[in-house]
Amino acid sequence: MHSNVVMKEFGSKFKIQVLPALSDNFMYLLIDNTTKEAAIVDPVAPNTVWEAVKNENVKLTTVLTTHHHWDHAGGNKELITSNSGSPLNVIGGDNRIDGLTTIIDKSGIELKMGSLNIKCLRTPCHTSGHVCYYVYTNEASVVFTGDTLFLGGCGRFFEGTAQQMYEALIKILSQLPDNTAVFCGHEYAIQNLKFSKHVEPNNVHLLSLLKEIEIKRKMNEPSVPSTIGLEKLINPFMRVDEESIQKVTGTIGDSIETMKILREMKNDFKE
């Protein structure tokens, strides 16, 4: 296992168990403290999910799928058939996802899981049907960002454009409250922050975060969660409006072109 299993508390209303899977994926068990209902994000490893559900003594009702790639959606079928006949609400934004009961075909659809509010944000680019899930109460908020926003980076543009990633990162995710916790789809923090350091070698927030995460990773602690406020300080893809980043890409005044060049630089980056 690439990281230890950890539980993160968000006020009195909900908590999130981080469940590592495969070589660097994360699944997340979202637990409503009030009703003891739970949702699972990207359950690629169903056995791990059922073990966590049993240990936490919760009732799994909902599957939140960020996108159709097998390392995120590939466990849906088995999870559904192994739920001893009780149906699960399976949410997602792409017909290539197995078992969907609710298709997020427009952005901003609001759902409930127990007493928790979930706003489904369509963020096409990594895949055309990618959805991020913003979970909030009057006390706290978190966002599950799949392969759109990573700690210190973003997903590859497999089915979309720089314009679309700009919309996703700057127009949608950056607008969430700064204290929103960010739970992403892969443990890529160290690789991402090394690239970020290459782009902004004098960014003090970035340099201290890299040190902090190197210590965490040595102890097998997951790097997640980050926060929206922190990402805006250290993630070059969240900073494409900044002149400091536009200077590096040679695209002053053009944030979309900055996004495009930055992605190409990351694709070619060797530490």
Binding-site ranges for ligand GBP (CB under 6 A): 69-71, 147, 153, 155-156, 158, 186, 188, 191, 266
Nearer to ligand GBP, 2 or 156 (CB): 156
Question: What are the backbone angles phi and psi of residue 218, rounded to the nearest 5°?
Answer: -60, -30
Q: Which does 153 bind (CB under 5 to 8 A by kind): ligand GBP, Zn ion, none?
A: ligand GBP
Nearer to ligand GBP, 46 or 160 (CB): 160
Catalytic residue among 42, 68, 130, 186: 186
Site residues for Zn ion, 56-75, by CB under 5 A, read 69
- Asked if 71 is an active-site residue, the reply is yes
Tokens of 154: 């973003």
Q: Which does 257 bind (CB under 5 to 8 A by kind): ligand GBP, Zn ion, none?
A: none
**Min dist. Cβ of residue 150 to ligand GBP (A):** 7
Nearer to ligand GBP, 94 or 147 (CB): 147
**Min dist. Cβ of residue 99 to Zn ion (A):** 18
Catalytic residue among 69, 98, 105, 178: 69
**Min dist. Cβ of residue 117 to ligand GBP (A):** 28
Q: Is residue 147 close enough to count as binding Zn ion by CB under 5 A?
A: yes
Nearer to ligand GBP, 122 or 186 (CB): 186
- Asked if 94 is an active-site residue, the reply is no
- Asked if 69 is an active-site residue, the reply is yes
Alpha carbons 270 and 256: distance in angstroms, whole number: 24
Q: Which does 130 bind (CB under 5 to 8 A by kind): Zn ion, ligand GBP, none?
A: none
Catalytic residue among 67, 68, 94, 130: 67
**Min dist. Cβ of residue 147 to ligand GBP (A):** 5
Q: Which residues pair with 17 in a beta bridge?
A: 7, 29
- Asked if 130 is an active-site residue, the reply is no
> Catalytic positions, please?
67, 69, 71-72, 126, 147, 186
